[in-house]
Amino acid sequence: MARPGRPKKIRATVSPSVDAFLDMLVAERGAAANTRDAYEHDLIEAAAWLKAREVPLDAAGTEDLRAYLRHLQSGDEAHHAAALRTVARRLSALRQFYRFLVSEARRSDDPTASIDSPKQGRALPKVLSEEEVRGLIETAQRRGGPDGIRLVALLEILYATGLRVSELVGLPLTAFSRDGRYLVVMGKGGKERMVPLSDPARKAMEAYLPVRPAFLVKGREARQRDFLFPSRISEEGHLTRQRFAQLLKELAIHTRIDPAKVSPHVLRHAFATHLLDHGADLRAVQKMLGHADIATTQIYTHVVSDRLKRIVTEHHPLATPPDEGERKG
């Protein structure tokens, strides 16, 4: 018997102002559903904390918000970096919300105007080695069957294109060019970009398309048929981000890689870093990743630089380990 679909998510309503703000994000800025949900979550969390102190979110003052942000940073030192990231993200959401209220004349002042974002050290992206990525793909290939073939296709496309996971799982069938050499991807803000496919990715797709019908369920074809990676159970009609991430964790365990190191986003990082390792142009990588600002892409150059420094230190014939140099001195 087919599994029943999951019940639709019931959204909590904080205030009409929050609802109007979230609607604006989608209608005017073209925010994706995941972006909208992230803003909604952050505002709900802030509103709940303020409500416990009898302060409505819409009417909160600067000191109310400072107290809330201090609360987020409380805790032991081990969680300090994570807390700073949370504070920065929540403050960003609150800034956008109050600026919206001011622009709509729902409020005369912005209580976040004098609050500075916390200073954070630059967090370099986690990256898998080329050998580890190859191991994941080979493990998926050995699995076989429709599920294994689909997983290989997902891995090869992700590693060949660096797509965001939401872009990957939601790819429509029409995303492929007629010759199968590139994908047309609808990214953030409704921006379209073309991304070339590698030979392994094209071959993986040639193997996957004949087994794609195995993921279609009778009675649900209308919702599933437009997606490249349909799901047997998802309400969205396509494979979800959460399920794909779970599949990657399971694959990592079978490949004897720490599952904490593996996620769709880490494979996106690997795509960018490995391209730069092999001499790709930074602007080309920026376009393929769909970054609006090249500064976002430049963080990968630091990962490459650190790796090159380590290679030189470990393998250059004139490089001398510090302790050995001291002994010779």
List residues with catalytic annotation.
Answer: 164, 188, 265, 268, 291, 300
Q: Is the separation of the CB atoms in 184 and 191 below 8 Å?
A: no
Q: Which token pair is 187?
A: 């990214």
Angle at 28 between CA 25 and CA 32, to 5 degrees: 50
Amino acid identity at 167: E
Residues 6+ apart with CB under 8 A from 187: 164, 167, 193, 290
Q: Is the separation of the CB atoms in 149 and 208 below 8 Å?
A: yes
Rounded-to-integer distance, Cα 126 and Cα 222, Å: 39
